[in-house]
Structure 1
Amino acid sequence: MTRLRLLVICFLEIIFSCLLITGHTRSSPPLLEKHVALFIFSDSLFDAGNNNYINTTTNFQANFLPYGETFFKYPTGRFSDGRIIPDFIAEFSGLPLIPTFLPSTNQELHMGGADALTETHQGLVIDLQTQLSNFKIVEEQLKKKP
């Protein structure tokens, strides 16, 4: 049963940590403007530092050394000593490094230790349901931008 649960969680993790790259074009003659966004739903593998902005334990934070010392030279909240997978994808795509959703409501919607189930680590991490709610907030904000 534990192995099955782990496989299901891994499967969900893969599905929800996939990158949702959306292209939005707005025609205003004679130029077409293209906007590309990178939205990430996941846990600590892709967390760019949301853990720094919520009241949680140090078990779910990476804002101290050795985290970040290789690339950034200081802790960023990423569970890595440098960049994380979305940073490389963003760089390859010509996009800036992924910022956190908190506190400025940017693209990165997840956090370290997060789980698909709301009950897991309740109050200590940003669960998948909350990540999706945060995405809806960002989506509405983007719709309002010119």
Structure 2
Amino acid sequence: MATSSSNINLCFLMLCVSLLITTTCHGYSDHAALFIFGDSLYDAGNNNYFNNTIIRANFTPYGETFFKYPTGRASDGRLIPDFIAEYANLPLIPPYLQPGNNRFIDGANFASIGAGALVETNGGLVIDLQTQLSYFMNMEKQLKQQLGDTEAKKVLSKAVYIFSIGGNDYFAALAPNSTILQLHSRKEYVGMVIGNITTVIKGIHKRGGRKFGFSKMINLGCLPSLRAVKMANTGRSGCMDEATLLTKLHNRALSKTLKELERQLEGFKYSNFDA
């Protein structure tokens, strides 16, 4: 199983890289940027500069293996976007909120640890996906000021946009005191999550984005934290069935939605692989 997962990860990496690499490098019009949206799997440190949150990874042992200091990444080293950037001969894409960060021809990272597709998920403590889109729109204005409208549009149209989002929405629904799944059926709730993701995709497409990459959601039910919750609640070991079911519903719904968007949106291209 490990070999299969590694091969899929490599396929996702190489597909994103192939979309990013261009044949020439004369001027901005031939430059392929990387724009990053999502949660802790992709956040390079935005939460360090988001004053409303205590959800950060700016302390040891985070960052100890590669950077040798905590960068704000929820990892002891690099994240998937870092490897994509490296293989595409781009610099590591810094957090959008990092002070002094105003070079966007290589891309920007809008992801936030703890973020969800829904505004209510960890509301006020994270940069939710809709707010990430608003940051992207602000960045677009800055890019136009720097390059002019024509060149900025070329950068946005050639760029790759990658997403890892949704897991925290389901964590919120499965929290001990949550009433979310009492108020909504599983299908309805997944539809809300996918609906918000779709809105953001369309917002980016409207501004010229054409090439997208999506990480499928891992089986949340088998994460140690939710296995522990199951043990505490039921006395039984193993994966949490409810979380596993939500994961499957999410991945099916996302796959279906992306196929529909491919038919609906002009020039829309995407990859959708396991994280």
Report the TM-score, using the length of structure 2 for normalisation: 0.41
Q: Find 2:86's aligned residue among 91, 95, 100.
A: 91
> Residue 35 of structure 2 aligns with which residue?
39
In structure 2, the gaps of 5 or more residues are 1-15, 148-275
Amino-acid identity (%) = 62
**Structure 1 residue 32 displacement after superposition:** 4.1
- Which residue number in structure 2 is paired with residue 51 of structure 1? 47
Distance 2:74 2:32 in 1: 26
Per-residue CA deviations over 1:36-85 (Å, capped at 9, x if unaligned) read 2110111000000001011211xx20000010000000000000000000
2:115 corresponds to: 114
Q: Is the 8 A contact 2:20 2:88 kept in 1?
A: no
CA distance in 1, matches of 2:20, 2:140: 11
Q: Which has the higher helix share?
A: 2
Q: CA RMSD in A?
A: 2.1
Looking at structure 1, the residues matched to 94 and 125 of structure 2 have their Cα atoms a distance apart, in angstroms, of: 20
Query: Counterpart of 2:208?
Result: none
Distance 1:127 1:22 in 2: 26
Partner residue in 2 for 1:68: 63
Q: Which has the larger radius of gyration?
A: 2
Long gaps (5+) in structure 1? 1-18, 24-30
SS state at 1:52 partner: helix
TM-score normalised by L of structure 1: 0.75
Q: Distance in 2 between matches of 1:61 and 1:67?
A: 10
Q: 1:77 aligns with which of 53, 72, 83?
A: 72
Aligned length: 119
